[in-house]
Chain A
Amino acid sequence: MKQPILAIQNLSAAVEGRQILKGINLTIYPGEMHAIMGPNGSGKSTLAAILAGREGYNITGGEVIYCGQDLLALDPEERACEGVFLAFQYPVEIPGVNSTYFLKAAYNEIRKHRGLPELDAMEFLTFVKEKVKLLHLPEDLLKRPVNYGFSGGEKKRNEIFQMAVLEPKFAILDETDSGLDIDALKIVAHGVTTLKRPDNAQLVITHYQRLLNFIVPDFVHVLYDGRIVKSGGKELALELEGTGYDGMIHAAAMPA
């Protein structure tokens, strides 16, 4: 069997003394798209943050193996160089940092890490303009400061655009669908689907089933109170639509 891209084993984590994750197990193989669904407060965003390397979480147990190495031992920038990408739920506005300059710096860090020559400004611009088209984004986005003054939808599209540029091996999309109107949602879904390849993997975190009308995950997991309480195929999302979280969790809690 091929090596998993990500293997989370019994991961537990606390924030300020409060236990948020209580033993997560999840294995993701190349070519797969997984969706994690769950109500507010179930630990979805905490999981995303821990995988990307945000500070402030206390890992109380378990491990995360990414392509054979201990992911949690790496700094956020090392993870990104190794191909981990987090599409932020709340992308940060960075006035004064030009989008192209920022993306070129990020892209070249990753190339450097892979032992590839860095692209100069002209080469990068040519490359990046192709990607702008893919996401149906206005080209002037490249001239603006990172996320600065962007609408909610533009910010989310910009995350997917960055993903298209950086071509991660493993992408985590943290509620990328929230706050999007239907057109933006379609664009995001189109982008995500386009970027799916046999050698990479995606973890889509969402509160709503809505996004899954447009992208089709291979696996769906329901996260509740820091644990994955149910896993299945895409039909699980539909089931969830019918029963709601309460119904499903109630059923899952029943002895088998």
Chain B
Amino acid sequence: MIITETKPNGALAHRVTELSLNRTELALPKRSADEPAWLLSARKVGRVRFAELGLPTLRDEDWRFTNVAPIAKMIFEPRLEPAHHGVTEKVLSQFPFTALAGGQLVFVNGRFAPDLSSLAQLPEGVKVMSLAAALATETALVEPHLCRHARTDTNAFTALNTAFFQDGAFIYVPAGQAVAEPIHLLFISTAKGHGTTAHPRNLIVAGRDSRATVIESYVSLSDAAYFTNAVTELVAADNAVVEHLKFQDENQQAFHIATVAAHSGRASNVITHSIALGAKLSRTNIYATLAGEGLECILNGLYLTRGEQLADHYMIVDHAQPRCASHEYFNGILADISKGVFHGRILVRPGAQKTDAKQTNKNLLLSDDATADTKPQLEIYADDVKCTHGATIGQLNDESIFYLRARAIPLETARRMLIHAFAGEIIDRVRCVAVREELDRLVWDRLEQNQQISGNPSCPTT
């Protein structure tokens, strides 16, 4: 799957792009003619941007650790028509977060499945619906935000999504309203053929003084090498409190690229979690724009990789206003010959005084052949700020193992305890108790399945 880049920058990618766009046009069902003009124009921009940018290559500084050439070779096969493809309510229950008390929107291969979805009683004015439906009936709520936060000028995948997305979720919480239970957006792939592509597009708008918790899950019933290219725009108005969790558990052949563009208003509090367990290659871009004073924004993430998996997290935290706090915490547990990538950029703009920005990325290598690349980047144009970053790549701490063993805890249990704890540091930040507990069990089970954690009696030596 690895392509050695020998051509001048982008030549290959551009050829692929042209081909892909043409194929995509053919594969698309006739687009509804009643899409509003503003959206058609945004789509056109996305299409042009994608053609200009091409898919990134390893020469691109922001993609130097993650080779998406395999995606270039495979994407844009004809999509599946809207249908359930064997997904039933019973099938749904095998996926995490489907038993939570809140509402749930289900998407099969990127298309909304209304009869699999359920909406709990929602407070007045709260909208939870498919984006396609919202574009028809709630244009006034959608237009101010959709395609305004996820930038197409620097990210070819976002451009591609903007050009071609068909559906996704729309969540709107009006000012002063609180949705107590988490809202779950479940994206299931049932792709049979390699290269099947979905471009889910979500828009979450939390009005002034509102509260909401949203989970996006990407899961699979397929063993094909399909491609998910998701974009979520999240808007938290002044004083809004939003918890957002993206849970990625695609199959081991799949490619998953996602962007979360979060726009935070004054004194808001946004926490967004990214949990990456699946996919052959995954990349989650998080763009956090801190657009009001005195807000707090936390980006929290955990990636577990094994086999040949690669999990990449790329984020830019844009401190555009003074007195904002941003914290990024990402932990990776990497086994076999898998790879973890972390790229965290903190941008403090002129005038964003009293910024408090903190970033940590910790990687636990469970095998000698696993690798982690971590790249912090601070760009500071204000003089009264506090910015820290730290990154570690290592194995289990021998001193900690000895401490536990000296307290009668057997070696294997001690190792598991420490590995679980490493994941637990991240999971503990999930505020919604039901979600946290479910995630904790799930990650624990996943860790237990890993031979290098549960089966291998040898202790890693340093």
Contact = CB atoms under 8 A, between A and B. Distances in A.
Interface string B232-270: 000000000000000000000000000000000000000
12 contacts: A76-B406, A77-B406, A77-B414, A92-B403, A94-B403, A94-B418, A95-B425, A96-B418, A106-B407, A106-B408, A109-B408, A110-B408
B338 to A, nearest CB: 21
Interface residues of A, number: 29
- 4 tightest A-B contacts by CB? A96-B421, A80-B408, A76-B405, A96-B424
A105 B416 CA distance: 12
Given A53-B406, A55-B402, A96-B428, A77 B411 contact: yes
B421 A97 contact: yes
A77 B425 contact: no
A77 B402 contact: no
Nearest to B331: A96
B356 to A, nearest CB: 19
B417 interface: yes
A92 B420 CA distance: 17
Interface string A203-236: 0000000000000000000000000000000000
A162 interface: yes
A103 B409 CA distance: 10
B411 A75 contact: yes
Interface residues of B, number: 25
Contact of B407 (A55, A96, A145, A162): A162
Given A95-B421, A96-B428, A105 B403 contact: no
A53 B402 CA distance: 9
Instruction: Summarize B's interface: helix, strand, loop or mixed.
Output: helix
Nearest to A111: B408
Given A77-B410, A105-B413, A105-B417, A92 B405 contact: no
Given A55-B402, A91-B403, A92-B399, A81 B421 contact: no
A101 to B, nearest CB: 8
Contacts of A21: none
A92 B400 contact: yes
A102 interface: yes
Interface in A48-81: 52-55, 75-77, 79-81
Contacts of A92: 397, 399-400, 402-403
Nearest to B413: A105
Nearest to B422: A96
A97 B408 contact: no
Nearest to B397: A92
B411 A96 contact: no
Given A54-B402, A92-B399, A94-B403, A106 B409 contact: yes
A175 B403 CA distance: 16
Interface in B357-403: 397-400, 402-403
A97 B424 CA distance: 8
Contact of A109 (B402, B403, B410, B428): B410
Contacts of B423: 96
